[in-house]
Amino acid sequence: MQAVMGYADRRSLRAGERIAFKVSCEGAATYTASIRRLMSPQAYPPPASPPFRALPVDSAADGTYPARVQEIPAGSYAIVPAGDAFAGLADFTLAAAIWPTLPGDGEQVVLGTWSPETGCGVALILDGEGRPALVLGRGAGTPRVVVELPHRLRARRWVWVAAAYDAARGTAVLVASPLERHQFDAGDTVSARSSGIAAPVHGDGPLTMAAAADCVSRGKRRTRLHFNGKIERPAVIAAALDPQACAELAAAGPCRPAHPRAVAEWDFSREQSGDRAVDMGPNGLHATLVNLPTRATIGSAWTGERHDWRAVPGEYAAIHFHDDDLADAGWDTDFVLDVPADWPSGCYAAHLVAGEAEFWVPFFVRPPRAQAGRTARAAFLVPTCTYAAYANFRSRVVGRWNELYHGRLTVLDGTDWLMQDYPALGSSTYDTHRDGSPVVYCSMLRPVTNFRPTGRIYKFCQDLLIVDWLDRAGFDCEVVTDDDLHAEGAEALAPYACILSASHPEYYTTAMLDGLETYLRRGGRFMYLGGNGFYWRTAFHPTLSGVVEVRRKGQGFLGPTSVPEGHFSLTGEVAGTWASVGRPPNLICGVGFVTQGFDACEGYRVLPASRDPRVAFIFAGVPDAVIGDFGMLQGGAAGYEIDRADPALGTPAHALVVAASAQHSNIYEVSASSFMDLVPSQDADAPQPLRADMVFFETPGGGAVFSVGSIAWCGSLAHGGYDNNVARITANVLRRFCDPAPFAMPD
């Protein structure tokens, strides 16, 4: 099979800075790379959509490169470097509370130093049938010794497991104590003993949790036998505890003091926002967490009374490990690009080609800091936070609901199928892990199949329709990304008179929302050209570029990705929708999400408020009674995901609803955000609840906001060669918003 994939170390940079590309290529001796400036997407054949424009640029990075396969190191675990504290053990006990999610799905290491490659070390494991077992290895060529309990563990039940070895007697004891009911068919604590066991050879490998460590290859640690499930309070004790002592240790709970004979005992309730597992023992053997296992998760002591892990850390003392976690593929760099200082701000990509296979790695170039806003009065705000939340959206390929929402068969191409051919690429926050638990962390530091200018017209591919329109309409516009807004706040937007949103700016961090609000309070102008914006509160990882955290708690039709934990591990903030934490999107753009449907889109009916002199500039040269009853996205400008005005949620009292959609199909009823949205208005002439509203309002300081409340809006810009009422309205607003003349607040 021929395949080429890649990613970059960043998504946003200024002209004059460097970006590094990491590539893996299979089935070819070489691949070619060329840098392109992206001006329009590869959508439908013209004239249904504009022609694909990925313009070559003069780049020193262009060329042919030797191909190599770079492995995807999926699977989370914790690791402690090798040391005398473990290697010198004679008598020992390995113990932990565990909540397995896939018992019986092959061998899974819970805790230990055993390496399948060298055959040395010891480990507490679940065997292939889901039974707790102790592995003792004496080195390559010597069969390992396995002592196991006769009882299989049940999935998603807390149990304390311990394995003790007495060197003098040559005996091993396995103990399992349920921490909740219905773990075993027979009784409570169960144990097994075996005699005549020769002492293991510890070797010089590290200690790992949730995986077994193999060799280091090209500077990268290889692991296997990953554990799926939660681990709490793992411990290595320099004594062979008897079953009674093991049971007493289990009963002491996750917040107990370290055992007097502890070599190491890790308290996962500490430093929840970091990548370190704190050792409470005397040796300070802190573990490093790899590939972002889920932190701030409920543990064996959870009472259900508190949902903030910071208030009761002992109830959130577990870490959930998955064999398909992936934070950073960690690939070596294949080539770098020093972006010339004179490159215009815009959307770019590295185009990788190997035979019939291709892959795109987009990135965004901002102007040098001193030149930002010098020539362009407007900036396009690229929703990289949303791109990250949807990265490798696997459910679009395998989800049972996908064709229901679209009202048609799913269409896939070769790049989509990479997720099936390479499952280690990971998933999005709309997917679940292999064990059925929700994905809460999502990364751009890996090949991302749905972040490209080709394929389905959605997200980045769709946002390029705005880029294409800006260029063809003659507007000079620079780019700013969510990464920049998060890092710099309002100062990232300050050089510009007007900010244009993308089609779907759904995911926002607190810093991003604060920055946009500050920009508007200072008199900035904002064009919200999308739908379902500012919806989910999100957290960016503080050090891993492009890694986001999303937690959905009890969120209706997104039930499979709902979690019981309501606070981010990275920041401690309350997670969920921005509306649920008191900052609905209506406060920013005057409209908020009501529903979605992907089968058909509609036009907007112009409303009486459109005749108000305050909005005369919007409709200049647009006499039509219906706006956007055309477009490449299912035939209309209003659809896919739609927002409406609602004074109860913060739409300003002086906002004008100048147009609204109507008569959406019953597919839109499936995902209504509220039951009351399904109840028609008693006034036959009033807009119905399931609608997209076009809204305008002024802001203090001379600014203003224009919102269309629809993802499909930009899909209508190119209709008729860009000569249509959607394009004219958008251009009218942008010209006025770039005009320095202040807007006046109405009386």
With CA atoms as reference, report the closest residue to 634 among 660, 606, 603. Answer: 603
Most confident of 180-189, 398-407, 453-462, 491-500: 491-500
Spell 187-210 as b/e; 16+ CB within 10 A means b. eebbbbebeebeebbbbebbbbbb
Largest CA distance in the chain: 95
pLDDT on residue 58: 94
**How many angstroms separate the first and last alpha carbons of the chain?**
68
Supply angle C-alpha 384, 389, 390, rounded to 5: 95
Spell 534-567 as b/e; 16+ CB within 10 A means b. bbbbbbbbeebbbbbbbbbbeeeeeebbebebbb
**Structural class in CATH, domain 3-71+330-366:** mainly beta
Candidate from 47-61, 369-383, 490-504, 557-571 with smallest mean pLDDT: 557-571
678-716, pLDDT tens digit by residue?
A: 666 656 566 778 999 999 999 999 999 999 999 999 999
Rounded Cα distance, 249 and 245, in Å: 6
Residue bearing the bigger pLDDT, 89 or 19: 19
Confirm if 697 and 590 have CB atoms less than 8 A apart: yes
Is the pLDDT at 220 greater than 80? The verdict is no
Dihedral sign (CA 120, 124, 126, 131): positive
> Where in the chain is CATH 2.60.120.200?
77-321
Q: What is the mean pLDDT of residues 406-427?
A: 84
Candidate from 189-193, 273-277, 297-301, 607-611 with smallest mean pLDDT: 189-193
Confirm if 546 and 445 have CB atoms less than 8 A apart: yes
Residue type at position 543: T
Band (184; pLDDT cuts 50, 70, 90): low
**3-state SS, residue 591:** strand
Candidate from 29-38, 164-173, 181-190, 401-410 with smallest mean pLDDT: 181-190
User: CB count, 10 Å around CB of 358?
Assistant: 17
424-437, pLDDT tens digit by residue?
A: 999 999 999 999 99
> Where in the chain is CATH 2.60.40.1930?
3-71+330-366
- What CATH number should be reported for the domain whose range is 77-321? 2.60.120.200
Residue bearing the bigger pLDDT, 627 or 182: 627
pLDDT on residue 419: 87
Rounded Cα distance, 444 and 38, in Å: 19
CA atoms within 13 A on the CB side of 315: 13
Candidate from 54-63, 600-609, 684-693 with smallest mean pLDDT: 684-693
Candidate from 47-61, 77-91, 672-686 with smallest mean pLDDT: 672-686
User: CB count, 10 Å around CB of 666?
Assistant: 11
pLDDT on residue 153: 94
User: CB count, 10 Å around CB of 420?
Assistant: 12
pLDDT on residue 486: 98
Rounded Cα distance, 652 and 482, in Å: 25
Find where tokens 């299912």 sit: 634
Is the pLDDT at 422 greater than 80? The verdict is yes
With CA atoms as reference, report the closest residue to 717 among 28, 182, 40. Answer: 40
Burial of 374 (C-beta count, 10 Å sphere; 0-12/13-18/19+): exposed
pLDDT on residue 678: 66
Residue 690 CB contacts under 8 Å (≥ 6 apart), including other chains: 594, 595, 642, 664, 668, 669, 672, 677, 678
Q: What is the mean pLDDT of residues 108-129?
A: 95
With CA atoms as reference, report the closest residue to 620 among 722, 729, 498. Answer: 729
Is the pLDDT at 142 greater than 90? The verdict is no
Band (186; pLDDT cuts 50, 70, 90): very low
Rounded Cα distance, 113 and 206, in Å: 6
The partner residues of 474 in beta bridges, in order of sequence, read none
Confirm if 501 and 528 have CB atoms less than 8 A apart: yes
Dihedral sign (CA 287, 290, 292, 297): negative
Is the pLDDT at 252 greater than 90? The verdict is no
pLDDT on residue 724: 97
Q: Please give the share of the chain, as a percent, with pLDDT higher than 70.
A: 95
Rounded Cα distance, 410 and 642, in Å: 22
Is the pLDDT at 123 greater than 60? The verdict is yes
pLDDT on residue 667: 77
With CA atoms as reference, report the closest residue to 512 among 531, 478, 535. Answer: 535
Own/partner pairs, 401-408, CB within 8 angstroms, 24+ separation: 404/667, 404/670, 405/596, 405/597, 405/598, 405/599, 405/667, 405/670, 405/671, 406/598, 406/599, 407/598, 407/599, 407/600, 407/665, 407/667, 408/599
Q: Please give the share of the chain, as a percent, with pLDDT higher than 90.
A: 77
516-555, pLDDT tens digit by residue?
A: 999 999 999 999 999 999 999 999 999 999 999 999 986 6
